[in-house]
Chains A and B, each alone.
Chain A
Amino acid sequence: MLARTVRVRLRAPLGRLREFASKADPWAKAWGSSADGGQGQEAERASPRTRSTPAAPQEGGRVSAELIEHLQRLALVDFGSREAVARLEKAIAFADRLHAVDTDGVEPMASVLEDRCVYLRADNVGEGSCAEEVLQNSRHIVEEYFVAPPGNIPLPKLGKQDPFSHS
């Protein structure tokens, strides 16, 4: 019976589909503004000087160069070419079809394990004491410490015209 209901909804007119595509991201509602770490109390503050998260792709599905740069910085992936961005846009459009389902009043499913409850481990020590093994993967160590550069090395700023370093 459930399957029949779903099928009925999918046959909804295309116009309704478009409407859903430009609806606000439902996850944003759950987490509030993700830009400031979700601390809702800051919502009323005056807007900060730094740039806010670039806008999500609008209807039509074009992803702005600004958003690409933002994603590259956050996820450390390299969208090396225009084809890659086009593929991204197609993937987003494909996923947007999820909006066709009416989810009003339905809690988002965060995990297929949502009917189970997490296993609770007793507070005993049973791991650790393997510094040598843990440090094995690191090419460069100093007196049993991992070595890292002095701070995060920021990605070089890319020009607005051509967001790709190589194409």
Chain B
Amino acid sequence: MAAPILRRGFPGGRWALVWIHGGCRHRNGAPTGPTHGSTRGRSSVAQQSLQTAQKPRKGEHKWETVVGLEVHAQISSNSKLFSGSKVCFAAPPNSLVSFFDASLPGTLPVLNRRCVEAAVMTGLALNCRINKKSLFDRKHYFYADLPAGYQITQQRLPIAAQGSLKYSICTGQRRSQMVTKTVRIKQIQLEQDSGKSLHDDLRCQTLVDLNRAGVGLLEVVLEPDLCCGEEAATVVRELQLILQALGASQANMAEGQLRVDANISVHHPGEPLGVRTEVKNLNSIRFLAKAIDYEIQRQISELENGGEILNETRSFDHKLGCTVPMRDKEGEQDYRFMPEPNLPPLVLYDTSCLPAGADPQQVINIDRIRDSLPELPSVTRDRLVGEYGMLPEHSFVLLNEVGLLEFFQNVMKETRAEPKKVTNWVLNTFLGYLKQQNLAVSESPVTPSALAELLNLLDRKVISSSAAKQVFGELCKAEGKTATQIVSEQRLELMQDREELERLCHATMDEHPQVVMDMKGGNPRAINKLIGLVRRASLSRADPTVIKEILERKLSP
């Protein structure tokens, strides 16, 4: 059973944590339709106990799944990678296109310094080796949105290589154990984005907008260490958080600033790797997980029925929840890589080898960039756990929900309540309400100050916790009243006068002698009934714990 705090705090569509039932399992048999929420592939990396399906078929074999990701992140910069055109989402078609972007003859690429810095920051954040010398290449293929007929990329010697990314998964029977896993980063390279094609099937034509052509991309190639959709979703989410924390990319999947392609294959343990398929056109993390799980299941059932897997590119139809083959791009692509003749090598320095008297604009110092890296998500999470004593799972939820961490910190600034109480309120009551109303933190009717005020009232024991929930409900209506105003209007203050409460208890006991007898007879539920009666008599203005204490004292001889 999942802990209640996480069930409600679980952000829809954002994968903070991954639930895996005692390891990756798979379900044999043909895919039953669009929903494959519970199927997994067995991890080839982790040693987990095997759990077979309930009804094993004859000759059933275990399957290992291999998932590799290629992530393209649009670099957050003012101008494009090799030209001075503006980078902007949603502008009039072809209005942000320079002569170089349109690949008119006589134009040359000029590298953007900011893009290089973004690549170095990302490489450092992902523990990569930064290559002090990296080279640019041309990757040739024909498509209407690639006017030059080739893309400038860094295939041979990229700017960064051999890194790693840690992510956390919840495992165990009660999903309470957090396991840290690592995925290796093969390389990070700078490359150009292509333009956008709008397909007009009616008139049998494609409309091409080159605004996006030439925008800087960071391609992050991950080694195939992953085994299922949920692991992939967690990794992509973590990468998104890192890129956003660095400011290297806004990494918004819905706006196309972060694109992920998945390579999936299955094989029997001990046998060589199977044929892989590539799944593209995934524009949300949720669809990424679904598509991978569907594709794994499709490959398994195809192979079990004696079919074979084609090395093809597929896209994900999210309405049907399945992958479909894309239009065949003329079979196997031969990209004819060649060095980019117009660009000399990119040379980076560190403090030890900085050339004397060099123009600072022309020199990039890796050490200087490393020293100015902002706090990474994993460090922020550790800091939250250390500073506020919250569970690691809470820190994940706080970071995964956009704007929630800032909200939480603003509340903490204005309240004297205990951090644990604040955490509980923010992650359960507040976030639960937002999820129910399908609101983002930025759209919340309750401001951090309002919540802080409410928590202060609770902390000073001016109101009971049930009254506080009631006040919160009122605050959500956003009628402009503060917590204090609501409390006085609805007379929710706790009774402060102890003597009056004692008199009330006494009166209630006299009115219900039967219940008192039951209590004296040792019935444990009777006292709760009496507490309820007293509370009702006090118009819910008495603290139940105090009532209980008074009653117990009265009843003891």
| A residues apposed to B, CB below 8 Å | 30-31, 34-42, 44-46, 48-53, 70, 73-74, 76, 110-111, 113-114, 116-131, 134-135, 137, 142-152, 154
Listed by A's residue number, 5 A-B pairs whose Cβ atoms lie within 8 Å are A35-B334, A45-B276, A129-B96, A134-B94, A144-B93
Q: Knowing A144-B92, A152-B142 touch, does A125 contact B113 (C-beta < 8 A)? A: no
Within 8 A of A (CB), among B68-109: 68, 77-79, 83-86, 92-102, 104
Q: Are A124 and B78 in contact (CB under 8 A)?
A: yes
Which residue of B has the minimal Cβ distance to A143? B93
Q: Are B272 and A44 in contact (CB under 8 A)?
A: yes
Q: Are A121 and B332 in contact (CB under 8 A)?
A: no
Q: Which of B92, B97, B111, B310 contacts A120 (CB 8 A)?
A: B111
Q: Are A150 and B311 in contact (CB under 8 A)?
A: no
Q: Are A128 and B85 in contact (CB under 8 A)?
A: yes
Which residue of B has the minimal Cβ distance to A151? B327
Question: Whole-angstrom distance from the CB of A34 to the nearest CB of chain B?
Answer: 6
Within 8 A of A (CB), among B176-235: 186, 197-201, 204-210, 221, 223-224
Q: Are A118 and B346 in contact (CB under 8 A)?
A: yes
* CA A46 to CA B205, docked complex, whole Å: 37
Hey, which chain B residues are within 8 Å of A36, CB to CB? 332-333
Question: Whole-angstrom distance from the CB of B262 to the nearest CB of chain A?
Answer: 13
B260 within 8 A of A: no
Question: Whole-angstrom distance from the CB of A95 to the nearest CB of chain B?
Answer: 15
B388 within 8 A of A: no
Hey, which chain A residues are within 8 Å of B198, CB to CB? 145
Question: Whole-angstrom distance from the CB of A75 to the nearest CB of chain B?
Answer: 8
Q: Which of B100, B135, B201, B208 contacts A146 (CB 8 A)?
A: B208
Q: Are B344 and A111 in contact (CB under 8 A)?
A: yes
* CA A122 to CA B199, docked complex, whole Å: 36
* CA A52 to CA B330, docked complex, whole Å: 12
B347 within 8 A of A: yes
Q: Which of A52, A129, A149 contacts B332 (CB 8 A)?
A: A52
Hey, which chain A residues are within 8 Å of B112, CB to CB? 120-121, 123
Interface of B (DSSP majority class): loop
* CA A40 to CA B330, docked complex, whole Å: 22
Q: Knowing A119-B110, A134-B94 touch, does A142 contact B207 (C-beta < 8 A)? A: yes
Q: Are B97 and A130 in contact (CB under 8 A)?
A: yes
* CA A36 to CA B362, docked complex, whole Å: 36
* CA A76 to CA B400, docked complex, whole Å: 49
Q: Are A128 and B332 in contact (CB under 8 A)?
A: no
Chain B, interface residues (CB within 8 Å), range: 35 or more
Q: Are B335 and A37 in contact (CB under 8 A)?
A: yes
Q: Are B334 and A124 in contact (CB under 8 A)?
A: no
Question: Whole-angstrom distance from the CB of A124 to the nearest CB of chain B?
Answer: 6
| B residues apposed to A, CB below 8 Å | 68, 77-79, 83-86, 92-102, 104, 110-116, 135, 139-140, 142-144, 155-156, 186, 197-201, 204-210, 221, 223-224, 263, 265, 272-276, 308, 310-311, 327, 329-337, 339, 341, 343-347, 361-362, 364
Question: Whole-angstrom distance from the CB of B95 to the nearest CB of chain A?
Answer: 5
Which residue of B has the minimal Cβ distance to A115? B344
Which residue of B has the minimal Cβ distance to A147? B205
Question: Whole-angstrom distance from the CB of A166 to the nearest CB of chain B?
Answer: 23
* CA A123 to CA B78, docked complex, whole Å: 6
Task: A34-B336, A123-B115, A129-B95 given; name 15 further pairs at CB < 8 Å.
Answer: A45-B265, A76-B142, A110-B135, A118-B343, A119-B110, A120-B111, A120-B361, A123-B78, A124-B79, A128-B85, A128-B97, A128-B98, A130-B98, A145-B93, A145-B208
Hey, which chain B residues are within 8 Å of A70, CB to CB? 334
Question: Whole-angstrom distance from the CB of A156 to the nearest CB of chain B?
Answer: 13
Hey, which chain B residues are within 8 Å of A134, CB to CB? 94, 97, 99, 102, 210
Which residue of A has the minimal Cβ distance to B263? A42
Q: Are B272 and A146 in contact (CB under 8 A)?
A: no
Q: Are A147 and B111 in contact (CB under 8 A)?
A: no
* CA A122 to CA B343, docked complex, whole Å: 17
Q: Are B276 and A42 in contact (CB under 8 A)?
A: yes
Hey, which chain B residues are within 8 Å of A42, CB to CB? 263, 276
Q: Are B274 and A46 in contact (CB under 8 A)?
A: yes
Interface centre among B79, B111, B186, B272 (most CB of A within 10 A): B79
